[in-house]
Amino acid sequence: MRSRQRMFAAVMRLLLKCLRLGRRRQFKLVRQVEQLWHYGQLCLHSLLYNSFTNGDVVLDSLFEPIYWLVDHVTRWFGVVFVALVIGLTSSIVAIVYICLLPLILQTYTPAWICWHLAYGHWNLIMIVFHYYMAITTSPGHPPQAKDDLTGVSICRKCIAPKPARTHHCSICNRCVLKMDHHCPWLNNCVGHYNHRYFFSFCLFMTMGCIYCTISSWEMFRDAYAAIERMKLLEKERLQVAANQTYYQTPPPSFSFRQRAFHKSVVYLWVLCSSVALALGALTLWHAALITRGETSIERHINKKERQRLQKKGKVFRNPYSYGSWDNWKVFLGVDMPRHWLTRVLLPSPHLPHGTGLSWDPPPCVTKQRTPLLAI
Phi, psi angle pair for 367, to nearest 5° = -115, 135
Parallel/antiparallel/unpaired status of strands 161-162 and 188-190: unpaired
CA–CA distance from 259 to each of 53, 228, 229, 253, 286 (Å)? 61, 11, 11, 10, 40
Do 295 and 179 contact (CB within 8 A), yes or no?
Answer: yes
Phi, psi angle pair for 52, to nearest 5° = -95, 5
Conformation bin of residue 293: beta by default, left when phi > 0, alpha when psi is -120 to 50: left
Q: What is the C-alpha separation between 104 and 218, in angstroms, rounded?
A: 12
Q: What is the C-alpha separation between 363 and 358, in angstroms, rounded?
A: 15
Strand partners, 153: 162
CB-based burial label for 321 (10 Å; 0-12, 13-18, 19+): middle
Active-site annotation holds for 183: yes
Q: What is the C-alpha separation between 14 and 9, in angstroms, rounded?
A: 9
Of 286, 233, 295, 285, the C-alpha closest to 258 is 233
Q: What is the C-alpha separation between 306 and 321, in angstroms, rounded?
A: 15
Phi, psi angle pair for 175, to nearest 5° = -80, 140
> Of 99, 169, 175, 183, which is the active-site residue?
183
Strand partners, 175: 168
Do 347 and 290 contact (CB within 8 A), yes or no?
Answer: no
DSSP letters, 239-291, are HHHHTS-GGGPPPPSS-HHHHHHHHHHHHHHHHHHHHHHHHHHHHHHHHHHHH
Do 245 and 129 contact (CB within 8 A), yes or no?
Answer: no
Mind telling me the catalytic residues? 183
